Amino acid sequence: MRIAMVGTGYVGLVSGACFSDFGHDVVCIDKDDRKIAQLHHGIMPIYEPGLENLVAANMRAGRLTFTTDLAEAVRGADAVFIAVGTPSRRGDGHADLTYVFAAAQEIARAVTGPCVVVTKSTVPVGTGDEVERIVRAANPDAAIKVVSNPEFLREGAAIEDFKRPDRVVVGTEDDDAREVMRAIYRPLSLNQSAPVFFTGRRTSELIKYAANAFLAVKITFINEIADLCEQVGADVQQVARGIGMDKRIGPKFLNAGPGYGGSCFPKDTLALLKTGADCETPLRIVEATVQVNEGRKRAMGRKVVKALGGDVRGRTIAVLGLTFKPNTDDMRDAPSLALIRSLQDAGARVRAYDPEGVEQARGMVEGVDFAEGPYAAVEGADAMVIVTEWDEFRALDLPRIATMLKVPLMVDLRNIYTEDEAAQAGIRLVGIGRKASAMHAFPAELATAAAR
* Candidate list 28, 229, 264, 279, residue with the active-site label: 264
Residue 272 pLDDT: 96
d(CA 315, CA 447): 12
> What three-state secondary structure class fits 84?
coil
> What three-state secondary structure class fits 423?
helix
Phi–psi pair at 26, nearest 5 degrees: -125, 135
Q: Are 158 and 11 in contact (CB under 8 A)?
A: no
Residues 166-181: what's their mean pLDDT? 96
Residue 237 pLDDT: 96
> What letters, b where the CB count within 10 A reaches 16 and e where it falls short, cover 126-136?
ebbebbbebbe
Task: Name beta bridge partners: 67.
Answer: 29
CATH 3.40.50.720 range(s) for the chain read 2-199, 292-451
* Mean pLDDT (the chain, rounded): 94
Is 264 one of the catalytic residues? yes
Residue 279 pLDDT: 95
Residues with Cβ within 8 Å of residue 293, at least 6 apart in sequence: 216, 219, 220, 223, 259, 260, 266
pLDDT at 162 over 80: yes
Residue range 390-403, pLDDT digits in tens: 999 999 999 999 99
Domain 292-451 has CATH 3.40.50.720: yes
pLDDT band at 191 (very low <50, low <70, confident <90, very high): low
For a pLDDT cut of 90, what percent of the chain falls above it?
Answer: 91
pLDDT band at 441 (very low <50, low <70, confident <90, very high): very low
User: CA-CA distances (angstroms) from residue 227 to 23, 87, 233, 340, 341?
Assistant: 50, 31, 10, 21, 22
> What three-state secondary structure class fits 28?
strand
Residue range 299-321, pLDDT digits in tens: 999 999 999 999 999 999 999 99
d(CA 385, CA 391): 15
Residue 64 pLDDT: 98
Comparing 111-115, 134-138, 174-178, which segment has the lowest mean pLDDT? 111-115
Residue 113 pLDDT: 87
Residue 270 CA from chain centroid, whole number = 15
Fold designation for 2-199: Rossmann fold (3.40.50)
Angle at 373 between CA 371 and CA 374, to 5 degrees: 100
pTM of the model: 0.92
